[in-house]
Amino acid sequence: MHIILGGTGRVGSAAARALLEQGQEVTVVTRDESRGEELKQAGARIAVADIRDVDALRRVFRTGRRAFLLNPPADPSGDTDAEERRNVAAIVAALEGSGLEKVVGQSTYGAFEGTRCGDLTVLHEFERALMQQPIPAAINRGGYYMSNWAGMAEAVRIGGSLPSFLPADLVIPMVAPADLGQAAARRLMSGTEDVGIKHVEGPDRYTAKDVAAAFARAMGQKVAVQEIPRDALEDVFRQSGFSAAAAASYACMTRRLIDGKADTTDQPIRGRISLESYVASVLG
């Protein structure tokens, strides 16, 4: 039995489906049972638990042999760093006495030791905690999620421009959630010697201009990139409903990506889903 945290989100549900397609038994952990209905219909078991409830989460872990661990994003109207660090502490605490034989953690390109830089520092802490506990731990660092662009679709459709926190010509690793799910499933099914950090990205690297071109082809209209100035990042996040703390953290993440401080590798695990096919699928 494989236990999937964040199993009703994009990456977690993709991991669950990939495992089900391989005939594996899957339990999806969620706080809202109704959100797991489609996966239940596909053959998954649904376990209702709050990841902050250490005892409840440990009980779920004890029903399986391996677990995919994903730290869900916190509400940006609050202090995202503080909330997500509490999640990390609870997840790691629940592993003690769980009886699991292997875990796979979802992390991100560019994770580094530090504070107040969003996922980059929170997930580095998650990586370190997983590798310091006794259960064999595999870590998948994912590139920039293609799904981050999906929320721009309506603005693109109405205004013909793609708002971008990144320079239009900046080439970065991007990856579709389904490819991250496939990579997670493969490492869940591999041996306990398959541990440590691996990087996962799509079949190619892309720019914001490539994203605009993909939207243009899918929508049949011209689309231009609208770059958000570096010094306006925090203001734009706050205008979108982020707290001051969350805006500062997200701006820190973005600046590090712009400055080329995201780690890269010449030998990533490469997914199959191109940016163009992903955007086309999102737009239906």
Q: What is the pLDDT of residues 214-238, one digit of tens each?
A: 999 999 999 999 999 999 999 999 9
Q: How many whole angstroms separate alpha carbon 160 and alpha carbon 212?
A: 9
State residue 31's pLDDT score.
Answer: 87
Q: What is the pLDDT of residues 146-178, one digit of tens each?
A: 999 998 899 899 999 999 999 999 999 999 999
Measuring CA to CA, which residue among 223, 225, 244 is closest to residue 235? Answer: 244
Band of pLDDT at residue 89, cut at 50, 70 and 90: very high
In a domain, 170, yes or no: no
- Three-state DSSP class for residue 107: strand
State residue 194's pLDDT score.
Answer: 97
In a domain, 208, yes or no: no
In a domain, 211, yes or no: no
Rounded average pLDDT over 42-47: 94
Q: How many whole angstroms separate alpha carbon 118 and alpha carbon 79?
A: 10
**Domain of 61: which CATH number?**
3.40.50.720
Please tell me the pTM assigned to this model: 0.95
Q: How many whole angstroms separate alpha carbon 147 and alpha carbon 95?
A: 30
In a domain, 60, yes or no: yes
Band of pLDDT at residue 120, cut at 50, 70 and 90: very high
Question: Would you tell me the crossing angle of helices 80-95 and 244-258 to the nearest 10 degrees?
Answer: 80
Measuring CA to CA, which residue among 148, 130, 150, 149 is closest to residue 140? Answer: 130
Measuring CA to CA, which residue among 251, 221, 246, 79 is closest to residue 155? Answer: 221
State residue 33's pLDDT score.
Answer: 82
Residue-by-residue DSSP string for 114-157: -SSSTHHHHHHHHHHHHHHSSS-EEEEEE-EEGGGGGGGHHHHH
Band of pLDDT at residue 136, cut at 50, 70 and 90: very high
Question: Would you tell me the crossing angle of helices 244-258 and 119-132 to the nearest 10 degrees?
Answer: 80
pLDDT of 266 strictly over 90: no
Task: Specify the number of domains making up the chain.
Answer: 1
In a domain, 188, yes or no: yes
Mean pLDDT of the chain: 95
Q: How many whole angstroms separate alpha carbon 118 and alpha carbon 243?
A: 13
- Three-state DSSP class for residue 100: coil
Q: How many whole angstroms separate alpha carbon 228 and alpha carbon 169?
A: 13
State residue 222's pLDDT score.
Answer: 95
Residue-by-residue DSSP string for 207-250: -HHHHHHHHHHHHTS--EEEEPPGGGHHHHHHHTT--HHHHHHH
Q: Which residues are within 8 A (CB) of 94 and not within 5 positions of it... i.e. 6 or more apart? A: 51, 54, 55, 57, 58, 61
pLDDT of 209 strictly over 80: yes
In a domain, 15, yes or no: yes
Identify the weakest region by mean pLDDT among 32-41, 105-114, 189-198, 246-255: 32-41
- Which one-letter amino acid corresponds to residue 132? Q
Rounded average pLDDT over 196-219: 97
Q: What is the pLDDT of residues 54-84, one digit of tens each?
A: 999 999 999 999 999 999 999 999 999 999 9
In a domain, 162, yes or no: no
In a domain, 11, yes or no: yes
DSSP state of 151: G
Q: How many whole angstroms separate alpha carbon 74 and alpha carbon 76?
A: 6
State residue 142's pLDDT score.
Answer: 97
pLDDT of 263 strictly over 90: no
Say if residues 36 and 16 touch (Cβ distance below 8 Å): no
Say if residues 104 and 184 touch (Cβ distance below 8 Å): yes
Measuring CA to CA, which residue among 14, 205, 211, 23 is closest to residue 106? Answer: 14
pLDDT of 284 strictly over 80: no
Q: How many whole angstroms separate alpha carbon 126 and alpha carbon 78?
A: 20
- Three-state DSSP class for residue 111: coil
Query: Which tokens in the block code for residue 123?
Result: 């997930």
Q: Which domain holds residue 191?
A: 2-144+176-201+262-271
